[in-house]
Amino acid sequence: EKPVENHVFEADVARLLHLMVHSVYSDKDVFLRELISNAADACEKLRYEAIAAPELLSDDPGSRIVLTLDADKNTLTLEDNGIGMSRDDMVEALGTIARSGTRAFMERVEAAKAGDGAQLIGQFGVGFYSAFMVADKVDVVSRRAGTAHAWLWSSDGKGSYTVSEADLTEAPARGTRVRLHLMDDAKNYTSKWSVQRIVKDQSGHVPVPIDLIEKPGAEAERVADGTALWTRSKNEITKEEYADFYRGVSGQYDEPALTVHFRAEGRHEYTGLAFVPESKPLDLFDPEGKGRMKLYVKRVFITDDAELLPRYLRFVRGLVDTADLPLNVSREMIQESPILAAIRKGLTNRVLTAIEKLQESDETAFAKLWEAFGSVLKEGIYDDFERRAQLLALSRFRTTTSDEATRSLADYVKDMKDAQAAIYYLAGDNLDHLKASPQLEGFRARGIEVLLLTDSVDSFWVTAAPDFEGKPFKSITQGAADLAQVPKTEGDVPKTAETTPAVSDFIAFAKSALGDAVSDVRASDRLTESAVCLVASEQGYDRQLGKMLQGAGR
Ligand code: ADP
Ligand code: MG
């Protein structure tokens, strides 16, 4: 008898399991997609490791995933011949939560109302633990490629699991077998027709072939052929096939808002398949801010860490497949490769062009995209000097005249007053507060539009973006308002703020009363109703950026 180790799940896993088991989420099929995607990942990892160590493949070079159904025992079993897991891999991978975004996910589910929270489970992949939505016991037997030990992990999903060494004769020769002991109300996952349909719908385009065995002893039938979707020609691929593939590659279960599929030819040859999601990925504001584009070399998955797109496009999901890099390229080599730099540039162009086209062809769809990702795209205005003008032209803003809609800078410039020299903005964190600001009075009186900027990124890019179509950006809470040149009504003679003796007296009084608390007191055109307002000096930060930097302890 082999000794059995008992382990307690890490607190976050216990929390996630509790959510899974107690969720009223009705579309439980997603568990199958999660397990298949893990099996496919394991096959891709093996293919990658086998480049340097071909002996890992021994006499079984082809990847495959096999599903076996057993209605009598009420079990569903998935087996892959991928990389497999050692004992330590198992304890690490199936006892803790490593994936970024899961914590954010749990917080959102717990904060949401019961029904909405359950929807989130369907919208975002939640990994291996989703098996416990349909199973009251899960056994995982795994043998890591190239090792002579196999291990059995077993749990009822109620707080603890066991690990013990397994007999090699009862383990896959290489890879992982996951057996689900299904709950009584999950019997449909032993029916050939339902499983076949689910696999075809959800996982028809994973890059590993999938076979189905209807009952023990029956012959395997191929359900999905494992050909890489991106190698097929664009006009043969349906919208549904793209959406299915997108879900697999992104782990997100919404629809793609944009699909960009192209083959670059010429100096460098590669295929790109990139998707802009409909909704925000959970890890969008992770401090690391990494993208998730996958790099393949001749259809072998190499890494999803290659930064194939700039940070401000980190919400884009998909892959690049190239034959121009050697298969045994190291991760360090990748980062420094001029080929990768060229791919990055080409891909960035394609994605931005697609977004621009959407802007022209479908205003509503573009507005949705901007709503979801505008605050990330705007990071590019200060990060990517070369594309600053392009990104500014895509940007949309709430303004003093926009009501519920948004305005582009081209709209703004077209409607500028004759004598108006700058694009004016007011930054803050709350739209209603901004709209009520006395700083706007003089601008409203003259019919001058003011951008109302409420994203924290706004305070930064405005300092970096010198101009749009030659017009500088100017904070209305900073320096002189220079409104004097713009008449309030037609025919009105423009004049500078009045300094009658009474005003001068008041200014002298205010200066002596406020002392060092202010650097200056001036008459201004910016107010019509209110008596006074605070303004930042011409040099240095505008009021909102000053506040933010203070808050950040700078
Ligand atoms: P993710 O796939 O996002 O990493 P999961 O919860 O789906 O998260 O899986 C957790 C980890 O368990 C994986 O990263 C992997 O290390 C391991 N794992 C799961 N299934 C398999 C498998 N079939 N073969 C090898 N490793 C696996
Ligand atoms: Mg997974």
Give the rounded percent of residues in the chain with a pLDDT score beyond 70. 90
State the Cα–Cα distance between residues 280 and 254, nearest whole angstrom.
10
Residue with CA nearest ligand 1 atom 15: 93
Q: Which residue positions form the known binding site?
A: 34, 38, 80, 85, 100-101, 123-128, 176, 331
Verify whether ligand 1 is closer than 6 Å to residue 38 (CB atom): yes
The CB of 85 under 6 Å from ligand 1? The reply is yes
Annotated binding site for ATP, which residues? 34, 38, 80, 85, 100-101, 123-128, 176, 331
If one residue of 12, 38, 252 were mutated to test the ligand 1 pocket, choosing by the most ligand atoms within 8 A of its CB, it would be 38
Q: Decide: 39 in ligand 1 pocket, CB within 6 A.
A: yes
448 Cβ partners below 8 Å, 6+ apart? 417, 420, 424, 483, 486
Residue 42 identity (one-letter amino acid): A
Place of tokens 């600001």: 437
Q: DSSP letter string over 215-244?
A: STTSPEEEEE----GGGS-GGGS-HHHHHH
Question: What pLDDT, on the 0 to 100 scale, is given for residue 342?
Answer: 94
Atom of ligand 1 nearest to the CA of 251: 3
List the single range of 148-152, 170-174, 326-330, 431-435 with lowest mean pLDDT.
326-330
* Interstrand relation of 150-155 and 135-143 (parallel, antiparallel or unpaired): antiparallel
Q: What is the pLDDT of residues 485-517, one digit of tens each?
A: 666 665 665 555 666 787 788 888 888 888 887
pLDDT in tens, 121-175: 666 667 899 899 999 999 999 999 999 999 999 999 999 999 999 999 999 999 9
Q: Which atom of ligand 1 is nearest to the CA of 98?
A: 4
Instruction: For ligand 1, say whether the CB of 128 is within 6 Å of any of its atoms.
Output: yes
30 lines ligand 1 (CB under 6 A): no
Task: Give residue 328's pLDDT band: very low, low, confident or very high (50, 70, 90).
Answer: confident
CA atoms within 13 A on the CB side of 457: 15
**How many A from CA of 224 to the centre of ligand 2?**
19
Q: Does the Cβ of 93 fall within 6 Å of ligand 1?
A: yes
pLDDT-wise least confident of 338-342, 345-349, 468-472, 509-513: 509-513
How much is the pLDDT for 326?
A: 82
- The residue nearest atom 10 of ligand 1, judged by CA position, is 93
Contact 171, 141 (CB under 8 A): yes
Separation of CA 128 and ligand 2 centre (Å): 6
What is the residue with the minimal CA distance to atom 11 of ligand 1? 93
b/e for 74-91, b at 16 or more Cβ within 10 A?
bbbbbbbbbbbbbbeebb
Residue 127, ligand 1, Cβ within 6 A: yes
Residue nearest to atom 8 of ligand 1 (CA): 127
> 33, 128, 147: which to mutate for ligand 1, most atoms within 8 A of CB?
128
Going by pLDDT thresholds of 50, 70 and 90, the confidence category of residue 208 is: very high
Strand partners, 453: 427
CA distances from 542 to 323, 400, 427, 492, 534 (A): 50, 19, 9, 31, 11
Q: Is the dihedral of CA 346, 352, 358, 361 positive or negative?
A: negative
* Ligand that comes closest to the CA of residue 102: 1
Take atom 16 of ligand 1 and give the residue whose Cα is closest.
Answer: 93
70 by Cβ neighbours in 10 Å (0-12 / 13-18 / 19+) ranks as middle
**What pairing do the DSSP bridges indicate for beta strands 317-322 and 294-297?**
parallel
With contact defined as beta carbons under 8 Å apart, do 18 and 10 qualify?
no
Listed in sequence order, the DSSP H helices in 183-312 are 192-203, 239-250
Predicted pLDDT at 554: 47
Tell me the C-alpha distance between 201 and 273, whole Å: 20
Single-letter residue type at 256: P
Q: How far is the CA of 94 from the centre of ligand 1 (A)?
A: 8
Q: Which ligand is nearest to the CA of 80?
A: 1
80 in ligand 1 pocket by Cβ < 6 Å? Answer: yes
Residue 249 sits at φ, ψ, to 5 deg, of -80, -25
Q: Take residue 428 and report the two structure tokens written for it.
A: 């803050």
Residue 83 CA, closest ligand 1 atom number: 25
pLDDT at 122: 63
* Ligand 1 contact, 248 CB (< 6 A): no
Does residue 299 have its Cβ closer than 6 Å to ligand 1? no
Alpha helices in 395-449 (DSSP H): 409-414, 431-435, 441-445
Question: Would you place residue 251 in the very low, low, confident or very high pLDDT band (cuts 50, 70, 90)?
Answer: confident
- Ligand 1 atom, smallest distance to 126 CA: 6
The whole model's pTM is what? Answer: 0.79
pLDDT surpasses 80 at 441: yes
Of 6-20, 92-106, 163-177, 217-231, the range with the lowest mean pLDDT is 92-106
Q: Ligand 1 centre from 128 Cα, in Å?
A: 6
| Confidence class for position 389, pLDDT limits 50, 70, 90 | very high
The residue assigned the tokens 């009862």 is 170
Which of 246-255, 500-509, 537-546 tops mean pLDDT?
A: 246-255
How far apart, in whole angstroms, are the C-alpha atoms of residue 371 and residue 374?
Answer: 6
Q: What is the mean pLDDT of residues 454-478?
A: 89
Whether 91 lines ligand 1, by a CB cut-off of 6 Å, is: no
Residue of 2, 13, 288 whose CA lies nearest to 164? 2
Residue 352 pLDDT: 98
* The two three-digit tokens of residue 11, written as one number: 């607190």
Q: Taking the C-alpha atoms of 487, 491, 497 and 499 in order, what is their torsion angle to the nearest 10 degrees?
A: 180
**Contact in structure between 101 and 16 (CB atoms under 8 Å):** no
What does the block give as tokens for 192?
Answer: 């050939």
Q: Is 45 in the pocket of ligand 1 (CB under 6 A)?
A: no
For residue 442, what pLDDT band results from cuts at 50, 70 and 90?
confident
